[in-house]
Amino acid sequence: MRCPSCGDEANRVIDTRLSRDGEEIRRRRECEECKRRFTTRERVERSLPKIIKRDARREDYSREKLQRGLDSACVKRPVSVDALERIADRVERWLQERGDAEVASAELGERLMDELKVLDRLAAIRFASVFHEFESTDDYAEFIARLEADDEGGDE
């Protein structure tokens, strides 16, 4: 592991912790050369499905891309980084449990929206506006009406 500051490979582990869900190991390291500290994370490498885009292109699943979408939806909202990490973890677990080689981006987006509806309704609306390409206030009104109808009828 190279130091992100000086690039030297000599470093030592100062602290090792298991994440709450047991899916990741966090290691705090110190560079022997420049004495700066940095954090590394280890997680089991899993095979995740390809994502089928609207235009039929196939892309490798990207946690970073998923995380950017969640981050964008939650800008200036009272949502913790840990809550977003847990969503990403649940979505990855869902993808793995399905066992499919490919998953439509529409299905993945709906799953993320469902997670955001529980976490922060405004974030869900923001996410939906990009995901569903809202073009007018009517699009927002329809989505909000569906959210309210879901609340009244209970999430099924």
Range of the structural domain that residue 16 is part of:
11-43
Is residue 6 included in any domain, yes or no?
Answer: no
Residues 62-119: pLDDT tens digits? Answer: 999 999 999 999 999 999 999 999 999 999 999 988 889 999 999 999 999 999 999 9
Is residue 4 included in any domain, yes or no?
Answer: no
Residues 66 and 36 in one domain: no
Residues 38 and 54 in one domain: no
Residues 62 and 90 in one domain: yes
Residues 66 and 125 in one domain: yes
Residues 39 and 54 in one domain: no
Q: What does each C-alpha distance from 35 to 1, 2, 9, 26, 152 come to in angstroms? A: 14, 13, 12, 19, 57
Q: Which residues partner with 31 through β-bridges?
A: 11
Number of domains composing the chain = 2
Indicate the angle between helix axes 63-73 and 105-119, nearest 10 degrees.
Answer: 40
Residues 6+ apart with CB under 8 A from 111: 91, 94
Residues 35 and 103 in one domain: no
Residues 19-44: pLDDT tens digits? Answer: 877 888 999 999 999 999 999 988 87
pTM: 0.66
